[in-house]
Structures are given as structure tokens and as C-alpha cells.
Chain A
Amino acid sequence: MKRLLGITLTGLFFTWALGAAGYLPPPQQFMLENGLTVLLHQDNELPLVSFRLLVPGAGTVSEKADGLADLTAQLLMKGTASRTANQIAEELDRLGVTLRCGAQEEFTEMSGSSLSENFARMLALAADCLLAPAFAPGEFAKERQRRIDAIRQVQDEPAQAVRQYFRKAYFGRHPLGSLKAGTEPTLSKMTVEEVRAFYKLALRPEKAVLAVCGKIDAKELKRLLASTLGRWPRPLAPSVEASMPALPAVAGRTCVLIDKPDASQAYFMLGVPGLPFGDAASPQAEVMNTLFGGRFTSWLNSELRIKRGLTYGARSGLQSWRPGGIFTVSSYTKNDKIGEMLAITFELLAKGRKDGFSDLEVESARNYILGQFPPSLESLNSKTRAYADLFFYGLGFQYYDELMARVAKAPAAEINQIARALFPERNYVLVVVGKADDIRKQLEPFGPFQEKKIVAGDF
């Protein structure tokens, strides 16, 4: 105790030092005629350039069936009007660049990284994929089948499968319940026409943002964009981006047991409502999560791993979207210990609601968040992510300075208030994947469980 108190002054010192610096340099910002916003941060340290393009309204919450948005994004790279899928792969590999397309919940994103000497060619290729995709039926069929197969692979691995089952159990028919990778029933019915229609409707420039970081100046970037993403046509039809409905309320206990007869460990995921992205209480929630299950010495990891050796890892996390978020807790242990593990987890949540965290704990978490923040924005990719996210969520480029300043000042009373608000007692969603015969009885105290068998390809 004495030793820790002695360190306090140092903590205050570096808190101040970082707060003064400004975490994210303000980018140069301009808009192309088609409405695409461009954010540029020039950084000449290494001969590299990274970019990230974010297209709002083209995420999984906008799709009609699980897997449509991400499949559409992936197919952008599987052939264009002038290049076959093989030619695209060949060109990318030859340049030694990485280019990725995929869908998140609220947007589709395309990102890439290259040596600066190859950036022009990478951008040209990326624009060709985005502007003139072929969506050839053959490539569609291949990629769809590959995805159906990959879903079964996920089901073979309980650590991965539990997250998918949780998503379905928590969100049900809410758009956030849509699984990015799809399911076998939705993918097997999907047609290439649906992919084309989704592309036409959702992938459009007027609300999109492109963040570029690295060794390139504004003049050169504008020149390159004129012949590439500048030619992305703004559709005449108005954008139909619908706002996401409010997240489902969690009333009572929704508990699901997925039987995996060969599993030697049981995996659980527990969830309750969290906070929208950029919510006023985010700083306090970050501190709370850090203390409960967000770092190695967290309550959860201390009790489940460090003290009892029940597991290799136990964590909690906050996931946030525009209209809301979730707070989750997860871990795993051998079959005969899952009841004990869940009992301890719920005891810790009760303790958090009742006693809360001490001033010293809160100070430690604040120092931890502040100390670990600068490296999180060190690489070009992390900067492009930050610029694009802050633009999309409309938070401003000083957001992280404000966030960290508020973390630095958050008192224990505020942290404990958010813990009382979020930590579940009687209302929660709990999903367990494991060998049902060995764990069924242990789960009884935590709710009436609906028991399910693994159905190949579906969740």
C-alpha cells in the first residue's frame, strides 16, 4: 500500500505532460466534387502511405440478409470491368501491398498500405475495384461457397463460436444481430443480383470519408484522386441510409446453452446494454471497464486467472455504435469449473454495484489509460482509423484530447455511478458453449437455459 501511494506524484506528472501535447495532429481536409471528404496527415518518417475509406450506410445493419454487406465488399476485389480476380491479386501481390475490403456494422471500409512509390498504383487499383466491380457470377458462387465452409470452421472452435451465438441471442432480429460472415441459410439463398443491388444502393461517395496518412503531400494526393476516387459518380437516387433503431432492451434473463459434446472447456459470454459511441459518460466507462476486466490486473482477471488459475484469460469490453452499445464479460474454463467461474463473476459484479472501486484503483486505471494511449495512435494505420472514425461519428479531431482530459479527472464517484448503471443483476443475456452433459447442472443458478445443438452453418 505504501509503495503504491508513493508513486502517485509520478502519475500526475505524466498525465499533465501528455495532456498538453495533443494526440492527433489536425488533418488537412477537403471535399471532392462528388461529396467524398478527404483527410490527409503527411508524415515523412518512413516511405509508406496508408489509407482508409469508410462508406456509411453500407454496413451490416443496412443489409437485408446476414452476410450480404461483407460479401459485397469482398467481391469488389474479385474482378472489375477491366481486370479479372486473378489479375487484381497478381497486381496487389506484385506491388507488395495490402488492400482489404469489409463491412462493419455501420459502414463498409476499404483500407490499404503500401510503399509510397507504389501508392499511386494501389489507389488506382482500389478505385477500379470500388467504381467498376464486375460481380461475375462465377466469382460470386466461389466466394459464397468459401464463406459457407468457413462458418463451419468457426463452429468447430468454441472460442470463436460463442461470440456468434451471443450476437444472435442478444440482438435477435435487431439489425445488429446480423452476422457479418453470414450463415449457411442466408448465404445459400443469396443471389448475385442482391449483391449488385446492395452495391448500387449503399456504396456511394457523398457521405464517405477517405483518410490518408504517410509520405505524400496534398498536391500529389489531389492529383491522384482526380483520376481515381474523384470519378466515383454520385448517384442520382437519394441516399436511403436509415437510422438504426434503438438497441433492444434487456428484460429478465435470456440464457442459451450451446451443446458441443467434444469440448473440454466451457466458454461464456455475458452482456448488458452499454453506451453509444462518443457518449458523455465514455471516459468514466473506459475507466470502469479497465478496472473490471480491461487489463491484466482487473478484478475479473485477478480473481479468475491470477488467484485461482481457472482460466488463461478473462475480460470485459465495451462495444459502441451510434444509437447505443453493449458491455460484455467473457471467459472460459474446464467443464467442471464453469459454475464456480460464473458464480465468482456475478459476485464481482455485485461487489462493483455495492462497494465500487477505490480512489487508488481509479487513479491506477486513469494512469494506465493515459500511459497506453500514445502508442495506440503511433502507426499510420491507427491514425487513418482514428481520423475516419472521428469524422464518421462527428466527434471532431480534438476528441481524444478531450476524452483523455476527462479520463484524467474522472473521480471514483463517477466511475462507480457508471458501474452501478451497467453491471447486471437480474437482467442479462448469457450464452455458454460447452459439453452440455457436464455443465448443465452447474448452470442452473444463473437462469433457465434454452439448450441448443450446433446446427451446421447456422447460429
Chain B
Amino acid sequence: MKRSLSIAALWILLAAGALSAAEFRRENISARRLDNGLKILLYEDHDIPNIAYYTFFRVGSRNERPGLTGVSHFIEHMMFNGSAAYGPGEFDRIMEFNGGANNAYTSDDMTAYTDWFPKAALEKMMRMEADRMRGLLFDPEVLEAERGVIASERRLGVENDNDSLLDETVRATAIMAHPYHWGVIGWMSDILSWQRDEIRAYFRTYYAPNNAVLVVAGDFETAAIMELIKKHYGDIPAATAPPAVLTVEPPQIGTRRVQLRKPAQIPSFQAVYHVPAVSHADFPALSLLETILLRGESSRLYRRLVSDAQLAISVSGGISQTLDPFLFYIQVKPRPGADLELLEKTISEELAKVQESGVTGIEMEKAVNSARTGFYAPLQTIAGKANMLGFTELVFGGFENLFTMVDRFAAVTPAQVQEACRMYLNDDNKTVGTLVPAGGAR
């Protein structure tokens, strides 16, 4: 469903690989900046008569505070509910009337607005996008209805989804100080009590051209679109730079444990470990470690837990591409009635093997190959290209880094993967969460 709470959208950059054959190269991307600070990335692609128009704002749940948790995601929803020149609902009506569709997503670090439309609709869409960057109505009645939508989204995505419920609890246990403590959706009591004035102030702080990146990929001419962008965005004033997020999560000193008990047929299990941000030198090694431990049926934890010991239905997780240090996840869907202590012990044994004996050359080859192949999948579409450029610009400190990322991955040595496993995936740095069935259908 649209406007989803989509941390998942970040999978696209899970990996990066060699850029050789395609025309999607660094030198074919035009990067500009308006006087008001709006950064613009343009990539012409004339395969289909459509345009992918992506606007990224440097705001996510990491910018929130207690009482206002979830408000970044709420503003994502309110962006469709009326701006100066367009009343509530008109954005979508006009977009769809002109053959366009849209969505948006909010993560811990950013909010992205994604439009896909036929090229003939470009200026109409741009006018609407610029208008909502300039300001929103926050009509009180509409705001209340949207609050109900978010509450339903939270009930759907967290309260009636056992894995997500556990995830929220584990995250809040592992991260005490940094705003990554809460999830993007926010706490239900905050959702029900955000005040209009607070929401507006938050919007004004973060929704300014100097805090945004506009990425356009598709069937347009660069010179012509630049003129349109200047015309529609040029007069939007810059705002004072938002405050930096200064809180640093203190080091964890000892395993933490948390348990949920609720009606369920199947338990849930997670172990998480503090790991550094994308900018850290250890990030590529941890990304390769993720593939070796968790990706594919040949991965170590799938093979051990699902294929061999048959303790689990599935395994997932890994490292997130975040601006600040976050968590490495090992998420397991145990079989009904599985011994969760044995499960945890088995995971520890597998990690110990990597820590003591390292990884093989074949595993390294697999991880780099997987990254390389995964890199090309989104490049098949203009939407994928736009998303990759914007995400890299915001999270990896510049879109240029997209084109060197394969080198960062390929340069990792087996010893670095082993060392990263030792340094981060150890017991003192671990938080374990379980959801244990209590009652429920039998």
C-alpha cells in the first residue's frame, strides 16, 4: 500500500557492483544546486516516455524527540493533504488524472517522495511538488482523519504482526539513548497526541530546499528541465539549517534480554548487535558478513538452522545502511515449539566458527558476486535509478560514492570479515529478544 513505512525500500542499495557496460555512469549524471540550497541530480533516459521524479528530505525518525515520535512519517502522509495552491486530496487527483502515480517512504534517516508520470505531465507535477515544499495547510479535520490512518497502519504493521512487535521492543532495549530507540511509526500514545503547532514547526524546520535533494530520471532534456526547476523552486526560501543529532549511543557492556508473551502459534527470535554507520571503515566488511551468514540457502545460518538442525523456518537480517550507528540483526522464525535456548546457542557456535577460523575464499566470492548482481537489478528502471542516486546522496555522503562502491566491497579481505565478526558480533554487544506463545490457537 502506498505511503508505506518502508524501511524495506533501503534494500535497493544493499549492494553495489561494477559499473561498466551501462550508460548509467558518473559522467552522465548532472548535479546542480540552486541558490536556495536545493540539490538536483538529473539522469536522462529515453527508453520509455515516462519520468521518475524523486524528492528526498533529510529528515526521519532520528530527528524526532519523545512526544513527537512518528511525526516524520506523519508529515509524509500530510504532504498529500493540501498545500498553498492545492487543497486536500488535489495532489493525488491531479497526479492520477494526468496519468501519474506516487508513493512515499520514511526511514530512520530520510523521507522520500516518489512520483512516476508520463513526460507530458512534467510541469504540472513539478508545480505541485514545489508548492508542497513551500508549505502545507495542516487542515485540522484532515489532520485528525490522517491520524486515524496512521493508527491503523501501526495496528496493521506492528500490533498485529508479531515479528514487528518484537522488533520494536528489541530495538528499544538495545538502543537506549539515540533516537533510533523508537521505530519510524512512533509510539501509539504519541500518534494520538501530536499537536498541530508542533507538527507545523517540525515541518518548517526540515522541509526547506536546503534540506532536500531532487532527483529526476527519465524522458526529459536536461537544459529544459533546469529552466523549469529554477522557475518553480527558485523562489522558495532557504531555512536555518536543522539542528544536528548529537546523541551518541553509549557502548553496551553485557548481554541484554527481553521477552514478549502473547497469543501466537509460532515464536519469534532476534539477536541484535551494535554496529557502525555506513561511513565507517568496517561497514563493507560487515555487509559481506551479512551475505555470508544470512543470504541465500547456502548461507551459514540458513544451512545450520533451517536445513541441518531444522530449528527454524527462515532466517533474515543483516546490517542497515544508516547515518548513525545502528544494529546488525539476526532474525529467526523458529519452528513451533523450538527450543529457543538451543537456537541461541547454535547461532553463537556459528559466529564462533567465523571468529576463530574466518571465512572462505568461495564465501567472499559469493558475497561480492551477490553484491554485483544485486546492483544491476534496480538499474533496469528509471525509478530504480532515481532511488539509488537519491539514497546514495543522502546516506553515503554524495551520489558519486555509488560509482565506487563496488571497489569498497571488492577490496575487503577475509581477515577483515573475521575481525568485524569478532569485534561486533560478540556477547557483550548483544541484545536477545524472544516472543513466546501464550495461549492462542492449538
Evaluate whether A309 and B149 lie within 8 angstroms (CB atoms) in the complex, with A17-B49, A157-B160 already known.
yes
Q: State the Cβ distance, A228 to closest chain B Cβ, in Å.
A: 20
Contact stretch, chosen from B114-122, B198-206, B315-323, B418-426: B114-122
**Which residues in A have their C-beta under 8 angstroms from that of B49?**
14, 17-18, 21, 374
Contact A46 B98, beta carbon cutoff 8 Å: no
Evaluate whether A264 and B93 lie within 8 angstroms (CB atoms) in the complex, with A149-B313, A375-B383, A454-B441 already known.
no
Within 8 Å by CB of A312, from B1, B21, B383, lies B1
Q: Is B370 an interface residue (CB 8 A)?
A: yes
Q: Is B144 an interface residue (CB 8 A)?
A: yes
**Which residues in A have their C-beta under 8 angstroms from that of B336?**
149, 152
Contact stretch, chosen from B222-230, B242-250, B263-271: B263-271
The contact string, 1 if C-beta is below 8 Å from chain A, for chain B 126-167, is 000000000000000000111111111101110111100000
- For A93, A302, A364, A372, the residue with the greatest tally of chain B CB atoms inside 10 Å of its CB is A93
Taken together as a complex, chains A and B put the C-alpha atoms of A115 and B369 apart, in Å, by 10
Q: State the Cβ distance, A401 to closest chain B Cβ, in Å.
A: 14
**Which residues in A have their C-beta under 8 angstroms from that of B144?**
309
Contact B310 A89, beta carbon cutoff 8 Å: no
**Which residues in B have their C-beta under 8 angstroms from that of A308?**
145, 148
Taken together as a complex, chains A and B put the C-alpha atoms of A156 and B157 apart, in Å, by 13
Q: Is A378 an interface residue (CB 8 A)?
A: yes
Chain A: which residue is nearest B15 at the CB level?
A: A96
Contact B296 A93, beta carbon cutoff 8 Å: yes
Contact stretch, chosen from A3-11, A171-179, A416-424: A3-11
The contact string, 1 if C-beta is below 8 Å from chain B, for chain A 133-167, is 00000000010011001101101111100000000
**Which residues in A have their C-beta under 8 angstroms from that of B147?**
309
**Which residues in B have their C-beta under 8 angstroms from that of A80?**
none
Q: Is B262 an interface residue (CB 8 A)?
A: yes
Q: Is B374 an interface residue (CB 8 A)?
A: yes
Contact B376 A115, beta carbon cutoff 8 Å: yes
Q: State the Cβ distance, A427 to closest chain B Cβ, in Å.
A: 28
Q: Is B335 an interface residue (CB 8 A)?
A: yes
Contact B155 A265, beta carbon cutoff 8 Å: yes
Contact B96 A364, beta carbon cutoff 8 Å: yes
Q: State the Cβ distance, B296 to closest chain A Cβ, in Å.
A: 4
For window 292-332 of A, CB contacts with B under 8 Å fall at 295-297, 302, 305-313, 315, 332
Chain B: which residue is nearest A159 at the CB level?
A: B156
Chain B: which residue is nearest A290 at the CB level?
A: B96
- For B94, B314, B365, B440, the residue with the greatest tally of chain A CB atoms inside 10 Å of its CB is B440
Contact stretch, chosen from B57-65, B208-216, B298-306, B398-406: B298-306
Taken together as a complex, chains A and B put the C-alpha atoms of A439 and B101 apart, in Å, by 35
Q: State the Cβ distance, A350 to closest chain B Cβ, in Å.
A: 23
**Which residues in B have their C-beta under 8 angstroms from that of A45?**
22-23, 47
Q: Is A399 an interface residue (CB 8 A)?
A: no
Evaluate whether A378 and B381 lie within 8 angstroms (CB atoms) in the complex, with A89-B298, A152-B265 already known.
yes
Q: Is B408 an interface residue (CB 8 A)?
A: no
Chain B: which residue is nearest A115 at the CB level?
A: B373
Chain B residue total in the interface (Cβ 8 A): 84
For window 298-346 of B, CB contacts with A under 8 Å fall at 298-299, 303, 306-307, 310, 313-314, 333, 335-336
**Which residues in A have their C-beta under 8 angstroms from that of B373?**
95-97, 113-115, 118
The contact string, 1 if C-beta is below 8 Å from chain B, for chain A 328-367, is 0000111000000000000000000000000000011001
**Which residues in A have their C-beta under 8 angstroms from that of B303?**
86, 89
Contact A453 B441, beta carbon cutoff 8 Å: yes
Contact B307 A85, beta carbon cutoff 8 Å: yes
Q: Is B397 an interface residue (CB 8 A)?
A: no
Taken together as a complex, chains A and B put the C-alpha atoms of A95 and B362 apart, in Å, by 10
Contact A7 B99, beta carbon cutoff 8 Å: no
Taken together as a complex, chains A and B put the C-alpha atoms of A17 and B219 apart, in Å, by 13
Q: State the Cβ distance, B198 to closest chain A Cβ, in Å.
A: 19
Within 8 Å by CB of B97, from A114, A157, A364, A374, lies A364
Chain B: which residue is nearest A259 at the CB level?
A: B441
Q: Is B427 an interface residue (CB 8 A)?
A: no
Contact B47 A378, beta carbon cutoff 8 Å: yes
Evaluate whether A92 and B296 lie within 8 angstroms (CB atoms) in the complex, with A7-B124, A10-B121 already known.
yes
Q: Is A277 an interface residue (CB 8 A)?
A: no
Contact A370 B155, beta carbon cutoff 8 Å: no
The contact string, 1 if C-beta is below 8 Å from chain A, for chain B 362-375, is 10011001111110
Q: Is B297 an interface residue (CB 8 A)?
A: yes
**Which residues in A have their C-beta under 8 angstroms from that of B152?**
265, 309-312, 332-334
Within 8 Å by CB of A262, from B89, B97, B263, lies B263
Q: Is A380 an interface residue (CB 8 A)?
A: yes
**Which residues in A have their C-beta under 8 angstroms from that of B12?**
none
Q: Is A248 an interface residue (CB 8 A)?
A: no
Contact A47 B266, beta carbon cutoff 8 Å: no
Q: Is B359 an interface residue (CB 8 A)?
A: no
Evaluate whether A306 and B145 lie within 8 angstroms (CB atoms) in the complex, with A93-B370, A152-B265 already known.
yes
Evaluate whether A371 and B266 lie within 8 angstroms (CB atoms) in the complex, with A13-B120, A14-B49, A96-B374 already known.
no
Taken together as a complex, chains A and B put the C-alpha atoms of A381 and B381 apart, in Å, by 11
Contact B2 A371, beta carbon cutoff 8 Å: no
**Which residues in A have their C-beta under 8 angstroms from that of B441?**
155, 453-456
Taken together as a complex, chains A and B put the C-alpha atoms of A333 and B155 apart, in Å, by 9
Contact B96 A18, beta carbon cutoff 8 Å: no
Taken together as a complex, chains A and B put the C-alpha atoms of A306 and B366 apart, in Å, by 46
Chain A: which residue is nearest B97 at the CB level?
A: A364
Within 8 Å by CB of A264, from B117, B155, B162, B369, lies B155
For window 381-398 of A, CB contacts with B under 8 Å fall at 381
Q: State the Cβ distance, A23 to closest chain B Cβ, in Å.
A: 9
Evaluate whether A4 and B93 lie within 8 angstroms (CB atoms) in the complex, with A14-B118, A93-B297, A149-B335 already known.
yes
**Which residues in A have their C-beta under 8 angstroms from that of B171?**
none
Evaluate whether A378 and B382 lie within 8 angstroms (CB atoms) in the complex, with A145-B310, A309-B144 already known.
yes
Taken together as a complex, chains A and B put the C-alpha atoms of A142 and B373 apart, in Å, by 30
Q: Is A33 an interface residue (CB 8 A)?
A: no
Within 8 Å by CB of A372, from B92, B101, B365, B366, lies B101
**Which residues in B have their C-beta under 8 angstroms from that of A305?**
149
Q: Is B100 an interface residue (CB 8 A)?
A: yes
- For B121, B313, B377, B380, the residue with the greatest tally of chain A CB atoms inside 10 Å of its CB is B380
**Which residues in B have their C-beta under 8 angstroms from that of A156?**
162, 264-266, 440
Q: Is A379 an interface residue (CB 8 A)?
A: yes
Within 8 Å by CB of A297, from B92, B119, B121, B442, lies B92
Q: State the Cβ distance, A3 to closest chain B Cβ, in Å.
A: 7
A residues with a Cβ closer than 8 A to B are 3-4, 7, 10-11, 13-14, 17-18, 21, 45-48, 85-86, 89-90, 92-97, 113-115, 118, 142, 145-146, 149-150, 152-153, 155-159, 261-265, 295-297, 302, 305-313, 315, 332-334, 363-364, 367-368, 370-372, 374-375, 378-381, 453-456
* 20 interchain pairs, CB-CB under 8 A: A11-B97, A18-B49, A47-B21, A47-B22, A92-B296, A92-B298, A96-B366, A96-B374, A156-B162, A261-B263, A306-B145, A309-B146, A309-B151, A312-B156, A315-B1, A334-B152, A367-B99, A374-B118, A378-B47, A378-B382
Closest 3 CB pairs of A and B: A371-B99, A309-B148, A96-B369
Extra inter-chain contacts (10) besides given A92-B298, A305-B149, CB under 8 Å: A89-B297, A96-B374, A297-B93, A307-B145, A312-B152, A364-B97, A374-B50, A378-B47, A379-B380, A455-B441
